[in-house]
Amino acid sequence: MQLFTANSHQWHRQRLVINPAFSAAKLKLMTPLVNECIESFMNKLSEKCEEQQEFNIYLIYKRLTMDVICRCAFGINTNMQTDIDNEYMHKAEAVTNENFENNPLIRLSYLMPWLIPVLSYIVIGQAIFMQFLHKWKKSAEELPRFWFVNRLRHVIDARVSSDETKRRIDLLQLMLDAATPNQIKNDNNGDVMSKKLHYDEVIINVFSFMIAGYETTSTALTYCTYILATQPTIQEKLRAEIDKHQDKNESDYDRIHNMIYLDLFIREVLRMFPIVPKTVLRECNTTTTVCGYIIEKGSVIRPDMFSLHYDADLWGPDDPNLFIPERHLTPRHPMAYMPFGQGPRNCVGMRFALVELKLCLTRLLCQYIILPGDEMEQKFKVHEKYERADKYYQETLSLFDQYLPIGYPDRIRARQKIATIERFYCCKSAMALEDYEDCL
Ligand code: HEM
């Protein structure tokens, strides 16, 4: 189990061990590793600019953020930013492009949740079979997840047997420092909870950092660049702040930390474009009443991030549809803003991501002026999620219409209801009240 999927004591223990790896002091030590990656990114950018042609910077950001994860979390240096055919990059793409919702078994589980234990075994069995096939017949391709896990095992073995004084400081090492090959109890009945991770937990967590930190950070950088390209005044203001700090005798980490406008800018980008709005989920463990609504024990609640971030009462008096970084200088409701989630289970990599974003943007703006490309607006399309949810449920319904015997209408109707509620939440920020009542 890893942080994302662990619950209760298991999650608590893992989080206790992993939190310190992302402390300000540890991040400061990791800044040189991130800077090495930014150096390669700048070289790549300079090559691109010499071509004197419009280009899609998202693809270059993706290589940068993957490089950062590989160096800081996997402990390996690759040349993935220059080498188009880099294997790590290809496998990472394959893992992040996996769409479990397209798996018919996963779809089946949505409609018949009581089948989840059986279906999970089948899905897991499929994966193990593929891995077995690969071991037996080398020509059969190894699943990208297993490919990563196997590489990580080698890196960890090498670290554990290497000279302690020569070990580099990265996320992997910080977690290994608290790792053990022994079994760990998860309960903390009256005793202090164990502050250890099993080696397998280190591997699976490092792997999850890749999933959690690669596309999120590159997408955030892309949104930042979009705003810089479309709002030249803001770009100039940011550059002025960066220039002001250039001559100061500070470490890179302290310098970005002291740039107030840069911080406001990133906050505003993530308010308008939350990267993973559907990730924040909480299960209710005691039946409770909120604003007159009874929430049953066991219900899973997902806050509607877009409605919160665009709520005029929470973000006014300036129109929340406008990009105004200074609005973050006014104290707001603590739950009005959640691009990294909220509470003790918020994003453990938040500080890491912010350091990476800030280091990259400062280097970029020191050297370049960002201009909009002719195709930019056409390629920049924010899709309304409700369309997808709706489409997905329609597809599932038609699948079941085709394959299931009569006798499931109630369950299907219940699902339809969930689909429309989801639609309702997602439309809320975009429509007037009377419009979204039609959705229900
Ligand atoms: C701009 C970049 C990022 C964004 C917007 C983002 C956003 C989020 C959000 C919304 C959550 C759910 C929080 C909640 O439920 O309250 C989350 C969880 C998590 N994120 Fe991030 N994240 C980013 C970068 C990263 C990075 C770089 C890493 C690791 C290196 C990371 C690792 C994780 C992990 C492990 C969790 C699960 C935490 C737990 O369950 O205890 N994230 N992230």
- Tell whether omega for the bond before 325 is within 30 degrees of 0, i.e. cis: no
pLDDT given for residue 363 in this prediction: 95
Atom 1 (ligand 1): residue with closest C-alpha? 217
Q: Can you say which residues are annotated as belonging to the binding site?
A: 347
Looking at the CA of residue 15, tell me the nearest atom of ligand 1: 41
pLDDT given for residue 392 in this prediction: 43
Separation of 94 CA from ligand 1 center, angstroms? 20
Q: Can you say which residues are annotated as belonging to the binding site for heme?
A: 347
Separation of 349 CA from ligand 1 center, angstroms? 5
Separation of 244 CA from ligand 1 center, angstroms? 32
Q: Give span(s): CATH 1.10.630.10, the chain.
A: 8-273+347-377
Separation of 339 CA from ligand 1 center, angstroms? 9
State the burial class of residue 184 (Cβ atoms within 10 Å of its Cβ: 0-12, 13-18, 19+). middle
Atom 43 (ligand 1): residue with closest C-alpha? 347
pLDDT given for residue 120 in this prediction: 67
pLDDT given for residue 339 in this prediction: 96
pLDDT along the chain (440 residues), means of 10: 74 88 91 94 92 88 94 86 86 76 68 68 70 65 79 85 76 83 61 72 87 91 94 96 85 92 98 89 85 82 87 93 96 93 92 97 94 76 48 44 35 34 33 30
Number of other residues whose CB lies within 10 A of the CB of residue 124: 10
Cβ(10) – ligand 1 distance below 6 Å: no
- For the domain 8-273+347-377, what is the CATH superfamily, name and number? Cytochrome P450 (1.10.630.10)
Could you give the CA distance from residue 61 to residue 220 in angstroms, rounded to a whole number? 10
pLDDT given for residue 176 in this prediction: 86
Q: Write out the two tokens for 126.
A: 């499929």
Atom 27 (ligand 1): residue with closest C-alpha? 213
pLDDT given for residue 416 in this prediction: 35
Q: Write out the two tokens for 298.
A: 């066991």
